[in-house]
Chain A
Amino acid sequence: MTDAAPTKPDRSAHLKKRYAAEFRFKLYGRIAIVIALAFLTLLMGRIVLQGYSTFTTHTVSLPVYLDPQKIDATALEGANYDYLVALSLLKKLGETEDEYGTNSGEAMDLVSRDLGFQILNRLKADPSLIGKTVTITGPMKADADLYYKGELKRATDEADRKLNNRQLDWLDTLQKDGSVKGGFNVAFFQNADSTEPEQAGILGAVIGSAMMLLITALIAVPMGVLAAVWLEEFAPKNRWTDLIEVNINNLAAVPSIVYGLLGLAVVINWLGAPRGAPITGGIVLALMSLPTIIIATRSALKAVPPSIREAALGVGASRTQTVFHHVLPQAMPGVMTGTILSLAHALGETAPLLMIGMIAFNPGIPEGFTSSASVLPVQVFIWENASERAFHERTAAAIIVLLAFMIAMNAAAVILRRRFERRW
């Protein structure tokens, strides 16, 4: 029909177009990845920059004279230990108290109230210390700490900052003579929430999260996996099971705050569960994770080739034996991945937990599953709304801790899957 010769140059032009299109496609891909990485770096960078300073803090070592005139041995709690600490600080600085108490007031602004509590505890343990001088080590107050970290600057107008110039001079003196040292902020990891930023830590939130996740896992994982097994392996394929499947898929897409409403209406009002407790949060998040776990497990079960089932049935295994001895173990990597990812997701959920009342201020570690608790994402939320400047960096630090947990859980999922996949 047509000559062979004219088609040849045609083909090479076509080839060039194809190569050009491929090149463009690869370029777009690379650009997309670069943009995504840029945003990621921006986000992570900003958080890290904001929060890394939390991990160091400044502590002060002070000899405190336990004035017997100010302490009543029979009523230890009645004494004003902060005042004693402030007096000792003034002494250290070579200052004295003035008649209006301004000096001691300004001194108290520099040192954490934790020192006072330490003295109380020590006296409770050993009342004979009254009259002696004891050395107490404790954190500096948040604003002082911020000054040391360079957040609070002299350059700012005095009226606009929390500490006046004299206080700043005192801080410099303390640092020069070695009373104040910088170090790792252990308190952040050892303390629960507090109104004083320097004393605030994430331990309460971490334990609260752990307890809540435990409930979630205990409820959602067995229920979800077994439900998926039943739906995939045993249920008859009819309209009812189709309906169930559609519903499960839709539930996975429902906004999480709806689960919060569900928690409020059903779990708290009808079941009578305590507000803001790990058990309530656990139940709500279990309901939220259930669809995802079911879907992931079903996927994993579907991926097991039918030849395994046939082989088991052929040897005379019953259907139950086939599923539990052969199919489920084979599907384990997928099931575990899905479960861990589901739980990692639940770890970071905030909206439903706010609705069920986990927003309350909890100064201590939760005592049990039914007592009020805080969780990491809610803690972030609370601190973000706090007015103190020092909470600013702590918010970011809490986010870093939260992200660290999620990365760890995801990494665990990947490692587990790799390990089990080898046995295929």
Chain B
Amino acid sequence: MTVQPPLIRTAAPHSLTPAQLDPTKIMVRDVNVFYGDKQALDAVSIDIPGKAVTAFIGPSGCGKSTFLRCINRMNDTIPGARVEGKIEIDGDDVNAKSVDPVILRAKVGMVFQKPNPFPKTIFENVAYGPRIHGLSSSKEELEGIVEASLKKAGLWNEVSDRLHQPGTGLSGGQQQRLVIARAIAVEPEVILMDEPCSALDPIATAKIEELIDDLRQQYCIVIVTHSMAQAARVSQRTAFFHLGKLVEVGSTEEIFTNPRETRTQDYITGRFG
């Protein structure tokens, strides 16, 4: 009385179905980047959702920072850099002739690896951006913007009584939050972070990660990180880059429990030869 053994049915892949995420904020198709003759990025295509954190991981020199800098056209400042392909934010091509990089960089803010506040007062650091973009029409309005930005960056309580002291006098973690406040002050829609915590101690790192968690309710955040643990903690989507190519992209849960590509698995488990 044997019965036909039923077919093995395996569990559905655990990924955030696209319906759960915001629609695509940044659409990238077939981007190639060259530094002179050397190709740094090869046919990268990816959809980055809004109001979520997307992490780029990969070994050194794999092109993740280069790709990040394409999004706000910071590669324009490097002589000999050439960007091909389409990068669209909300449907508008970033590299179009009609797009002024200055306006773009207000819309797409950037936080760098080593905290780099301006050598000015804390107030001036945050106020500079709104001022040059004409976002405020009076002194009170400007002060309001500064206060709001510092609050959002979780720094207000620590610096409200010393706004006119130099920004460089803060600790590393505070400086990085100041830089984030500076980026927020110009009302961005996307915030790019290039290894924001690599120069910080674990507690400062945790505070920044908490801030990122907060900020993703409002902004599209793209973070490049060397720490896979951080990518795992902080992001909803993860993309793995290797030798200029985008190897795999998926939900963070999927990438870290059951990635599709062997290369991805080798990288995240520390098996890279």
Contact = CB atoms under 8 A, between A and B. Distances in A.
- Do A's and B's CB atoms come within 8 Å in the complex? yes
A396 to B, nearest CB: 47
Contacts of B118: 308, 311-312, 326
A318 interface: yes
A315 B182 contact: yes
Interface string B128-155: 1100110000000000000000000000
Given A315-B128, A316-B103, A316-B186, A310 B119 contact: no
B102 interface: yes
B145 to A, nearest CB: 13
Interface in A319-341: 321, 325-326, 330
Contacts of A313: 74, 77, 105
B117 interface: yes
Contacts of B117: 311
A402 interface: no
B85 interface: no
Given A311-B112, A423-B166, A316 B129 contact: yes
A309 B110 CA distance: 13
A317 B119 contact: no
Contacts of A315: 105-106, 109, 128-129, 132, 182-183, 186
Contacts of A237: 79
A308 B106 contact: no
A6 interface: no
B112 A307 contact: yes
B86 interface: no
Nearest to A314: B110
Instruction: Place the interface of chain B in its size category.
Output: 20 to 34
Contact of B119 (A236, A316, A318, A424): A424
Nearest to B179: A311
Interface in A235-291: 236-237
Nearest to A423: B119
B149 to A, nearest CB: 12
Contacts of B103: 316
B92 to A, nearest CB: 16
A315 B104 CA distance: 10
A313 to B, nearest CB: 6
Contact of A314 (B109, B119, B132, B133): B109
Contact of A310 (B104, B112, B183): B112
B114 interface: yes
A321 B105 CA distance: 14
Contact of B102 (A309, A316, A423, A424): A316
Contacts of B109: 314-315
B168 A314 contact: no
Contacts of B236: none
- The residue among B132, B168, B186 with the most chain A CB atoms within 10 A of its own CB is B132
A422 to B, nearest CB: 9
Given A237-B79, A311-B118, A326-B118, A316 B132 contact: yes
A245 B20 CA distance: 59
B34 to A, nearest CB: 18
Contacts of B129: 315-316
17 contacts: A236-B79, A308-B119, A310-B74, A310-B77, A310-B112, A311-B112, A311-B118, A313-B74, A313-B77, A314-B72, A314-B109, A315-B186, A316-B104, A316-B105, A316-B186, A317-B132, A423-B166
Given A307-B114, A313-B105, 20 more contacts: A236-B79, A307-B116, A308-B116, A309-B77, A310-B77, A311-B116, A311-B117, A311-B118, A311-B182, A315-B105, A315-B128, A315-B129, A315-B132, A315-B182, A316-B102, A316-B104, A316-B106, A325-B132, A326-B118, A424-B119
